[in-house]
Structure 1
Amino acid sequence: MSEPFAVSITVRGYETDTQGHLNQAVYLQYAEHARWSMLRAAGIEQRALIDSGVGPVALENTLRYFRELHAGDEVTVSCAFVWGEGKSFKVEQSVTKADGTVAATLTGVAGLLDLTERRMVADPRERFKALASEPGVLGL
């Protein structure tokens, strides 16, 4: 199996709290950034999703914190879609420090919303596959 998609991020000072730690909500923003970056790497731009009448939606997220992050820390945020049957799929992500220490993990459930019907697309895997120029990035 190949390595999951990943992006590098430097923790910025304004993202930290009064204790100097990365604010807990920013981890979700990092995860979101990695997801959109993965879609772009697969050849799917946000505009293309909207123009095709669909949009990704987060249905559930579980974020676990393991180590502190501070301004200036270099991290890698990974992202992998785990496909199953049905209308939803799993999202597995980690935030890893430069020394290999996992600072946080995010596991989630996502889907693809039909923007006209306001219902989940029956087979998000096939819809993503049809939109992607590089479906392998998405594990397809």
Structure 2
Amino acid sequence: MAPEPYTIPITVRGYETDSQGHLNQAVYLQYAEHARWTYLQHGGIRQSDLLDKGIGPVALEVTVRYLRELRAGDETEVDCRFVWGEGKTFRIEQQIRRTDGTVAAEVTGVGGLLDLQARKLVADPREYFRALADDPAVFGL
């Protein structure tokens, strides 16, 4: 059974908005990235742990579906969950929601773990997540 998505709160800051007062499109990606790194830390995986093993996470594909505008001061929740397959890649599914439950954006992606020496994806990223995590169940492993 997959765990509930990991969620963090983020307040939209004025300097993140565009000339129309909307959250700038690129900032949605930054929120999603922040949630992913926070999720890894929550499960006991630090960036330095990955580097010590000679691996690094890579984004191979990212799609943002913008559904509702966000403005300065809006309180949001950004969630994240990994969906594991059998190969070298995994899916990442995220939502950015106002705290009233309104979904502002959906961010989906395909990621992998890059062997930093060989410059190739590792064969089974789940193996590394299991080994590095304090509690692999946090990641659905």
* TM bin (shorter chain): over 0.9
Deviations, residues 49-68 of structure 1 (Å, cap 9, x unaligned)? 10110000000001000000
What amino acid sits opposite 1:14 in the alignment?
Y
Who is 1:71 aligned against? 72
Who is 1:122 aligned against? 123
- The share of aligned pairs that are identical, in percent, is 66
Deviations, residues 25-69 of structure 1 (Å, cap 9, x unaligned)? 000000000000000001001011101100000000010000000
The 1-side partners of 2:139 and 2:55 are apart by: 17
CA contact (8 A) 2:92 2:109 kept: yes
TM-score, with length taken from structure 2:
0.97
What amino acid sits opposite 2:99 in the alignment?
A
Deviating above 6 A after TM superposition, structure 1's stretches of 4 or more consecutive aligned residues are none
TM-score, with length taken from structure 1:
0.98
Secondary structure at 2:49's aligned position in 1? Answer: helix
The 2-side partners of 1:95 and 1:83 are apart by: 21
The 2-side partners of 1:25 and 1:47 are apart by: 26
CA contact (8 A) 1:95 1:104 kept: yes
Deviation of 1:2 after TM superposition, in Å, equals: 3.3
Secondary structure at 1:109's aligned position in 2? Answer: strand
The 2-side partners of 1:137 and 1:5 are apart by: 9
Name the Cα RMSD after superposition: 0.7
Farther off after superposition, 129-138 or 37-46: 129-138
Count of residues in correspondence between the two structures: 140
What amino acid sits opposite 1:80 in the alignment?
R
Who is 2:43 aligned against? 42
Secondary structure at 1:28's aligned position in 2? Answer: helix
Unaligned runs of 5+ in 2: none
Who is 1:97 aligned against? 98
The 2-side partners of 1:139 and 1:78 are apart by: 15
Deviations, residues 75-131 of structure 1 (Å, cap 9, x unaligned)? 000000000011000000000101100000011100000011100000001111101
Unaligned runs of 5+ in 1: none
Deviation of 1:134 after TM superposition, in Å, equals: 1.7
